[in-house]
Structure 1
Amino acid sequence: MISTSTAHVLASLFVTCYVGSIYISKGARLSFSNTKVYLDYGFARPKLQNERWRDDPDVIRARLVAVCSGTFICCAIVYALMASESANAKNSWTPLQMTVNYLGCTSTSILPHLITPMLFLGPLYAHFLRGTLPGQCNWSSQEDLRSFLLSVTGVRNYFVAPITEEVVFRACVLTVYHLAQVSKMRMIFLCPLLFGAAHAHHAWETYNRYGRSPTALKRAAIGTVFQFTYTSIFGFYCSYLFLRTGSIFPPITAHVFCNIMGVPQPGYDISERPDRKLAIIVAYLIGIVGFVYALSSGTRWALAEGTLYWN
């Protein structure tokens, strides 16, 4: 066991390794012009020739390498902790076996993976009405699969980022707090704040992209507050999933699915098909009710047998 203060230090180290990796690597760092541009609110300025923005392909590739390296370091730290625990406890598990189990590299049933799509029943129904679900008339394997998912941006958004972020901010962070015997409530509602805070560095990019003006500063501040709130709430959910299932895979699939779907927009969905307004509202409500039911402690949807974290 480790102390709570040691867990705080290690969790902060994990965040520093992950976020800091993209600033240590020269190819992953961004560069902007110092020129102030006064634009209407909501409009970004054109990218200049010598600038490096977040969505530039070479920046994305460098950042993918950086965050994968940072994730490996975090896992190595957890392995060192497990080696120390194994030596002190003198149990039959090897440090590698302990690391694999604590990081949640274990299989689970299909049910935890269906909880997130259930919440998105309303948006999925709206996509169905527009004919944009896979296999429908307005869905294209070329545009919606290859260009959307398999581009360098898609690899970042839907593969590398969800996997590495969940391994670091869920598996590694919750492991050290579990070793410190922190309560499950604190792990669910306090640890994800680190995940939200780790996205605050995007404010600098927003400030520069929108002209380095007072309007740009306002947009960066509002965007940061929204992103911190959204990612923290999402972190509560994924932490609960990880602790209940003892597996990292349901949080990863939830992360991937949410990145693909984006933030639900019931108003937009209704405006697209006002003739199906009632059906869309009902689909949203059924999804929310089903989501709450599936997560409740009395069901088996999110609870796995023998989890290390939830007895």
Structure 2
Amino acid sequence: MVKIDNIELGEFPLLLAPMEDVSDPPFRAVCKEGGADLMYTEFVSSEGLIRDAAKSVQKLDIFEYERPIGIQLFGSDIETMGECTKIATKAGPDLIDINYGCPVKQVACRGAGAALLQDIPKMVKMTEAVVKATHLPVTVKTRLGWDESTKNIEDVAERLQDIGIKALTVHGRTRVQMYKGDADWTLIGKIKDNPRIKIPIFGNGDIDSPEKAIEYRNRFGVDGIMIGRASIGYPWIFNEIKHFIKTGEHLAPPTTAERVRVCRKHLDFSIQWKGERTGILEMRRHYATYFKGLNNFKPYRMRLVETLDYAHILEILDEVTDIYALEKVEA
């Protein structure tokens, strides 16, 4: 049984990665149904929380069915991170996660996210401030290092464990790599082999099939896997991996009708949480991935993204169900 502090996650947990503009409550709802064992909010700006910025505050919304759920924070100022941790704790998550992995310029070039990989002493002090500011378990998500010459994750893992974090997730790329090239899990495996490391270690990067999940589990010995991009439009991946690990067999891919059902659930929750106009607008980014593999789907996608009428969207989705009912969809 893998545990983060007292949170039981099963024998080989599958985590949903925190993804900006993706892993909001509507998306998390379908991923929970799809088998995710632990989920995180979109990453929340510490400065935004301190300013009481509406977007940052809304990201604290969590629901009972999501548990266990973590709120992920990022920032560049140690004191501010401590203060925002207290605010996030009051929102009632099961844990607090710190983002030391985001590579995008808007975050890293402001001294937050992966930028802390260039200043490990500051990372340690910031983590310590967060740990001291909450009674909840604190976890960290980061990368191998800033670039090829500074892959310092083994040292980082020891130092962060020593000041009290309860789990570590490592994305198998440096900040300079962004999301290019193949993720290298070799150092993640070395962390697991380190006898000093007692906390769970989760691997992240390029897991997009049940075969790869079980291969990486066996090769690198991680306690669980975090899945990000492969879950977008395909929340079934969690249960597919679990079934393959348990039985060695593949679950049948979702039918078009099942894809429409889950897409509609996502849409309905999006409208419920954000309001009809915003919910419909923000759902547009998901249609292409939900129906990836359908032949000649582009005309339907264009119709879906061109309308703001909820009833019309449902009519189009019903049409998709009928037209593609007998067509095999490539996962």
Asked if these proteins are the same fold (TM beyond 0.5), I'd say no
Greater fraction of residues in strand: 2
Structure label with greater radius of gyration:
1
Larger RCO: Structure 1 or Structure 2 (Cα < 8 Å, ≥ 6 residues apart)? 1
**TM class by smaller structure:** under 0.3
Greater fraction of residues in helix: 1
